[in-house]
Amino acid sequence: MENIPVFDSRSPDYKRPYGAVPSGTSVYFTLRPPRSAGFSRAVLTARFESRPEDELVRILLPWAGLEGNRDLFSGVLPTEDYVGLVWYSLRLEGLNGDVQELGEYQLTVYDGSSQVPAWFGEGCTYQIFPDRFRRVQVPDPTGMVGGRSVHTSWEEEPDYRPDANGEIRNRDFFGGSLAGVIEKLPYLHSLGVETLYFCPVFEAPENHRYGTGDYEKIDPMLGSNEEFSALCQAAHTLGMHVIVDGVFNHTGFVSRYFNGDGSYPGVGAVQSPHSPYAAWYQFRQWPGEYESWWGIYSLPSVNEDDPSYREYIICGKDSIVRRWLRAGADGWRLDVADELPDSFVHELHQAVRETKPNAVVIGEVWEDGTTKIAYGVRRKHILGGHCDGLMNYPFRNSLVSFLLGEDAAVFREAMETLRENYPPFAFSSAMNFLGTHDTPRILTLLGVGSPCGSESRDWRARFRMSPEQYALGRARLKLGALVLFAFPGSPMVYYGDEAGMEGFEDPFNRRTFPWGREDRELTQWYAALGKARRECGALRRGDLQWLRAEGPVMAFSRSHHGQTLVAAVNAGGTPQTLRLPWPTRDLLGGARFPAAVPLPPMTGFLLERI
């Protein structure tokens, strides 16, 4: 029986152009119902979500002829000066009263007026949790804010038990520093890293530094402002960029702005309602009751709409966003981007482009960035002029599920949904990853199969994988890393994943880097993938074509300027065969294959057409 759909939103035979379109684009639609169905009329109904009262537009799709035994109904939907989502449905009507409804479907219309720098999405990114990456000496915390303690041994376990008040204060430090990162730049370069993404580096009382104490100052345990610029310069010399974490939804309770404990000499919002910073915060009853991030008292929320706050962070000539770009940074990653007003993100994006035109803005969003609703508002994250790319949690979640046994077709469908919904710049500039500081260590998750959330924190602190679990986790991780490095978007490696670090959730995923105890097999695998990503134009800029996605087998190609590479993995326990139209060579191991490529269990290849 003929298997031709009436409509396929992803095929140019039915909708042109493919996927998201720049504002002003005319979108062409064609329906292909069977002639035998007797349809005589077709209508497209489009709901322009960002227009007043979800404006509805109905467009007749006139009969356009026959194609074999199929009627053709075609028409055009103009987008004019619109930016936002369009939800459209299709209706076929017959003279006998029969009706067929199709949809609704999503059409993303974005502002295509600005150019997005390509460098971020082309190369590999490495995420550094600064306190735990590399220290050159044990620091003395005397005089530093926050009542810090320092672990003498680099191998000790991070504090994870609550204190006498039932709080986990995160005031234990290991003393990783910018000097340590500079020392290890050759190592990072050997991995093929092209972008360093730092968790917060500004002065803060906690080891994670997400409760900023002073945006103008590198935390003294990490080094100085001058050392930050020196790091950026050294990274640039090696062809690397530097992205820093911007935490602008809240500050620290211990900060020069809120100054909840009076540790800073100035007059903070708690010392006086007339403080220059008082309007930044939302007091229910001054000074003890205030809005805070997720109710965490140590992270008082800021009012991002306050003019003086925007002037300080974004708009001023020497604003925080501008000064750190001038100091050497090449972009900002926005913490909890969906909790920042769209207007704030837009102004920040403008300031970034004005200050350093080739710098990027990457947002932390855990869902599809086109459909994200926060605080009752559909967000504009990647509609142009806001974020250049987003952290790709849908990629991570779908890939982990595949590696743990889910059908490859589910991963392909999730990625094709993103590719259809996202503007091309956002799909290409996505920050793809398997692990971050907010997720369990990927090696442990893949080796054990779950985050073991029902176990006690003491149990999770003591837990180490058995040799069998470790071997399984490593085999799965190698396959996942292959997909990660071959897929469009920037492959991001969380520090130590390439070295075999274990651990469940925070703080067990934030242990210190195991210098001298790395898993050499994993490190060499990541280095080979990084080399391929840096040297192969097909992986940096190539198109994406699915060759197979069923059961445990996933294979897709990337092609660019005559070079074609194929990522092929078998995540199952039985041998498989991938049939290609040409012979290939594995870039990672050197093996050559005819058109039929054998895929033993838990095996992956990066194949170059020869």
Residues tagged active-site: 335, 364
Q: Locate tokens 């996942």: which residue?
A: 480
Collapsing DSSP to helix, strand or coil, 100 comes out as strand
- Nearest Cα to Cα of residue 121 among 37, 38, 194, 211: 194
Strands 21-22 and 99-110: parallel
Give residue 217's Cα distance to chain centre. 27
The token pair that represents 205 in the structure block: 């009382």
DSSP code per residue over 49-80: TTSTT-EEEEEE--EEEEETTEEEEEEEEE-T
Place of tokens 């229910």: 284
Within 13 Å and on the Cβ side, how many CA atoms surround 171? Answer: 16
Cα separation, 428 vs 487, in Å, equals: 9
Q: What's the CA gap between 591 and 596, in Å, rounded?
A: 13
Q: What are phi and psi of 243, to 5 degrees?
A: -115, 135
Q: What secondary structure letter does DSSP report for 249? A: S
Q: Find the Cα–Cα–Cα–Cα dihedral 124, 422, 409, 561, rounded to 10°.
A: -60
Residue 367: name the closest of 345, 390, 387 by CA.
Answer: 390
Q: What dihedral angle (degrees, nearest 10) is formed by the CA atoms of 229, 234, 240, 242?
A: -20
Burial class (CB in 10 A: 0-12, 13-18, 19+), 584: buried
| Rounded Cα gap, residues 520 and 425, in angstroms | 35
Dist CA 289 CA 286 (whole Å): 6
Contact yes or no for 108/383 (Cβ under 8 A): yes
334 close to 340: Cβ distance less than 8 angstroms: yes
Residues 6+ apart with CB under 8 A from 321: 246, 313, 314, 332, 348, 351, 352, 355
Closest to 599 measured CA to CA, from 550, 545, 560, 533 = 550
607 near 536, Cβ under 8 Å? Answer: no
Number of residues that this document lists for the chain:
610
Q: In degrees rounded to 5, what are phi and psi of residue 475?
A: -60, -45
Pairing of strands 553-560, 543-550: antiparallel
DSSP E strand stretches across 420-509: 431-433, 490-494
